[in-house]
Amino acid sequence: MSMETILSVKPLFAVLVSLVAIPGIVSSRSQNIREAWTFGAAAIKLLLVLSMLPLVLDGNVLTFTLVQVLPDIGITFKVDAFGLLFAIVASSLWIVTSIYSIGYMRSLNEHSQTRYFSFFAVAISATIGVAFSANLLTLYLFYEMLSLATFPLVTHHQDKEARSSGRKYLFYILGGSIGLVLPAMMITYHFTGTLDFAAQGVMAGHINSGLALLLTVMFLFGFAKVGIMPMHSWLPAAMVAPTPVSALLHAVAVVKVGAFSVVRVFTGIVGTTLLSDFGINGIVCVLASITIVVASLIALSQDELKRRLAFSTIGQLSYIVLGIALLTKSGMTGGMLHIAMHAFGKITLFFCAGAIFCATGIKYISKMKGIGRRMPITMTAFLIGSLSVVGFPPCGGFISKWYLVLGTVESGNIAFLFVLLGSSFLNAAYFFRFSTMLFSAAKRR
């Protein structure tokens, strides 16, 4: 395996392809042509992303600098294994979600579908941009782009509820990125002179322990998309969005971009050695653990299906943070894998929630008795999805959770092991109590 850095415009094209499709989407004269543009862009994007796979699997890194915006920082793309994994997850799920969106939006006769598909395209571009960012500035740029592009999606219904949720969404997301990430990034730049993601981080040797702790916490809370408590409350609020938006953006793109950003900053900027030397990772683990447990408990009490899923997501995201912060090989593998595994699991659950709403108009769990009978295929899919999220073998969720559990054991801190196991019980509780109810209630009737 030879590590090589290859100059390639592919990452740029992969980011831009969905943006390029927007004029086509906007100017299309019929719905079918418009959707054809969406599909075409999605397919090309996936192919472009996949075409980089062989090179990256050989251990190469692809880079491309678009423009040098600051003396020693450019808008630069870099494709490594972790970024590519994330990009593959996002771009393949975009295709699935596009199909789902078309069915959902048409069956509900939603308004402003052109706007919807346009901003969807912007959001996916931004997601791929985050995945391929070579430095923190580029990541920040696409992170902000994603926040702004998802605002019209979250508030799609344009009613009062949408407005108040949109406000909450922006308050946390923009407040975090401008108020915390931006200053943290600039302080980092001031002391280290670079923002490039490096294998061992860039802070070591430049920043003392107190400041490093402060910056780490600023990044962790500032990337509010990862939903570490108390920066989580935008997520349940954002569930007013149409279900495909909730599915792709709030199970995959938005929240995972938050998790991805945190992982990148922890490994590429702060650096794992510095995290462990100064004992910062312990604090992060505790913050993540609290979020895991509290979110799981709240999820139990939610009656609206999408809100229950949202709190489940908050808990699952903290698994990723916890895995990274354990700083053991298995923990980090588990955390990174969990980005992909949870994405597939959770998007299934959201799709099911949307399908139930489309077919019956029901949003609340307490009113769903007997649905298992009426929609057996949907509910089977829901069961499989929830098995994966809870972590039953042979579902994908089991693999990532296995590594996470291994990670806690390797770290020697048994408390976090109990957090993981305990929360898995809670997960099982909030999903299976629901699932069994759906079927058994029907029998009783």
Partner 1 sequence: MTSNLPALVIIVPLLASLVAAGAGWFNRKAPFYIAVIALLISFISSVLLLAQVVATGVAIEYQMAGWPAPVGIVYVIDHLSAMVLVVITFVAFVNLIGNRQAVETEFKNKEGAFNALYVLFTAGLVGMTATGDAFNLYVLLEIASLSGYALIGLGSSRAPLATLNYLFLGTIGATFYLLGVGYLYIATGSLNMADLATIIPSMMNSSTILFAFIICLTGLLVKMAIFPVHGWLPGAYSESSTVSAGLIAPLTTKVTIYIMVRICLTLFTPEYTFGYIDPTDIMVAIAVASIIFGSLSALAQKDFKRMLSYIIIAEVGYMVGGFFLGNRMGVSGAILHIVNDAAMTLALFMAAGIFIWKTGDEKQSSLKGLYAKMPFTMAGFTLAALSVVGVPPTCGFFSKWYLISGGIAAGQYLFVGALIFSSLINAVLFFRIFEIALFEPFKSHHHAGDEEDKVESHHGETIVDPGVIESAQQYSGSDSHDHGAIVIKEPPLPMLVPFLGVCVLLLILGLYSGSIVNNIIHFAIPAGII
CA dihedral angle for residue 68, residue 193, residue 11, residue 83, rounded to 10 degrees: -170
Dihedral sign for Cα 336, 337, 343, 346, please: negative
If one counts every other C-beta atom within 10 angstroms of the C-beta of residue 343, the result is 24
| 3-state SS track over 34-75 | HHHHHHHHHHHHHHHHHHCHHHHHCCCEEEEEEEEEECCEEE
List residues bridging with 364 in a β-sheet.
304
Among the listed ranges 175-183, 272-280, 328-336, 423-431, the one in contact with partner 1 (CB under 8 A) is 175-183
Question: Which CB sits closer to partner 1, 40 or 175?
Answer: 175
Q: Which is nearer to partner 1, 285 or 356 (CB)?
A: 356
Binds partner 1 (CB under 8 A): choice among 110, 233, 304, 409: 110
Q: Which is nearer to partner 1, 168 or 308 (CB)?
A: 168
Report the nearest approach of partner 1 to the CB of residue 361 (Å): 11
- Interface with partner 1 by CB under 8 A: which range of 38-46, 65-73, 352-360, 412-420? 65-73
Closest distance to partner 1 from the beta carbon of 23 (Å): 10
Can you name the residues that pair with 296 across neighbouring β-strands?
Answer: none
Stretch of 46-54, 68-76, 307-315, 417-425 contacting partner 1, by CB under 8 A = 68-76
Print the binding letters for residues 298-327 with partner 1: x by CB under 8 A, - otherwise.
------------------------------
Residues 148-167 binding partner 1 (CB under 8 A) are: 148, 152, 155, 157-160, 162-163, 166-167
**For partner 1, which is the closer residue by CB, 54 or 71?**
71
Vertex 307 angle, CA 303 and 310, to 5°: 140
CB of 113 to partner 1, least distance (A): 6
Q: How far is the CB of 222 from partner 1 (least distance, A)?
A: 11
CA dihedral 275, 279, 284, 285 (to 10 degrees): 110
| Binder among 144, 194, 214, 304 for partner 1 (CB under 8 A) | 144
Residue 26 is a binding residue for partner 1 (CB under 8 A): yes
Q: In the bound complex, what is the minimum distance in angstroms from residue 365's beta carbon to partner 1?
A: 21
- 255 close to 310: Cβ distance less than 8 angstroms: no
| Residues touching partner 1, count (CB under 8 A) | 47
Nearer to partner 1, 179 or 282 (CB): 179
**Is residue 31 close enough to count as binding partner 1 by CB under 8 A?**
yes
CB 351 to partner 1: min, Å: 20
> In the block, which residue shows the tokens 């299906």?
305
Work out which of 47, 51, 59, 190 binds partner 1, going by CB under 8 A: 190
189 binds partner 1 (CB under 8 A): yes
Among 98, 101, 113, 165, binds partner 1 (CB under 8 A): 113
Residues that bind partner 1 (CB under 8 A): 26-29, 31, 34, 67-71, 74-75, 108-115, 137, 140-141, 144, 148, 152, 155, 157-160, 162-163, 166-167, 170, 174-175, 178-179, 182-183, 186-187, 189-190
